[in-house]
Amino acid sequence: MTLENEYAIITSNLTKKFGDFTAVDNLNLKVKTGEIYGLLGPNGAGKTTIIKMLSSISNPSSGEATVLGEKIHYGIIASKIGYMPQETGLYLGLTVDQNLKFYGRIFDLKKEEMEKREDELLKFVDLVDWKHEMVENLSGGMKHRVSLACTLIHEPELLFLDEPTVGVDPELRVSFWEYFHQLREKGVTILITTHYMDEARHCDRIGFMQRGRIIAEDSPQEILKRSGKDSLEDAFLEFSKQDEG
């Protein structure tokens, strides 16, 4: 196995500056193929900025990254990648169906394939009855579900999910995670951000972020063991304290 197959994401001193402010600071991250990796950290830690660079929406200030074996280039969105932005990428004045078809067309899905994927995904996000409703008429959590379905329409190999479960009710969050695990079984790699620590334990590995850096990284079990704490919240506070001390 080559390094590129073993790892879906490899970054080397990846850095993003906004003026004098460093949002992502010399990040060296490796995410294995078929792994669910969770980025956790407070508002402004740099999670979204990392995802935007890795999905080639934002240009790094320095350093580099290899994603699915290819060096990232600003502006190139690889068809093997699915990116679910934190802020919605939906067209509010279009229906659920029209939004899904819009994303399907970007990736050249054939009509039959499109219908099949759409049926599957609407069932998965539990919005079959809302297919022809305008997105602007949906609740916040429902919009999030449509957004996730749009991200998955072309069966990407690598998913960047930026807080995909915000505003989603608990029952559906459970089914989202079941689905993420099914995707992992198929070899899909997922880089996900969340503020829900109870979700973090579903990840294979998590990285705690603070001020643009990863201050601790391991499986949730190991993180707990290393911190000597019972909860991931307390573990985060512990690593954060150590980092500052």
For residue 18, the partner it binds in Mg ion, ligand ATP, none, with Cβ less than 5 to 8 A by kind, is ligand ATP
The runs of H, that is alpha helices, within 46-169 are 47-54, 96-106, 111-124, 140-152
Mask 26-65, x = binds ligand ATP (CB under 6 A)?
---------------x-xxxxxxx----------------
Residue nearest to Mg ion (CB): 48
Residues of span 84-143 touching ligand ATP by CB under 6 A: 86
48 is a site residue for Mg ion (CB under 5 A): yes
Q: 79 exposed, middle or buried (CB, 10 Å; 0-12, 13-18, 19+)? A: exposed
Q: Are 78 and 68 in contact (CB under 8 A)?
A: yes
Residues of span 1-20 touching ligand ATP by CB under 6 A: 18
For residue 45, the partner it binds in Mg ion, ligand ATP, none, with Cβ less than 5 to 8 A by kind, is ligand ATP
240 is a site residue for ligand ATP (CB under 6 A): no
Q: Are 199 and 164 in contact (CB under 8 A)?
A: no
Q: Are 191 and 54 in contact (CB under 8 A)?
A: yes
Q: Are 33 and 189 in contact (CB under 8 A)?
A: yes
Instruction: Identify the residue among 8, 14, 23, 138 touching ligand ATP (CB under 6 A).
Output: 23
Determine the Cα–Cα distance for residues 43 and 195; give it in Å rounded to an integer.
Answer: 9
Which residues lie near Mg ion (CB under 5 A)?
A: 47-48, 86
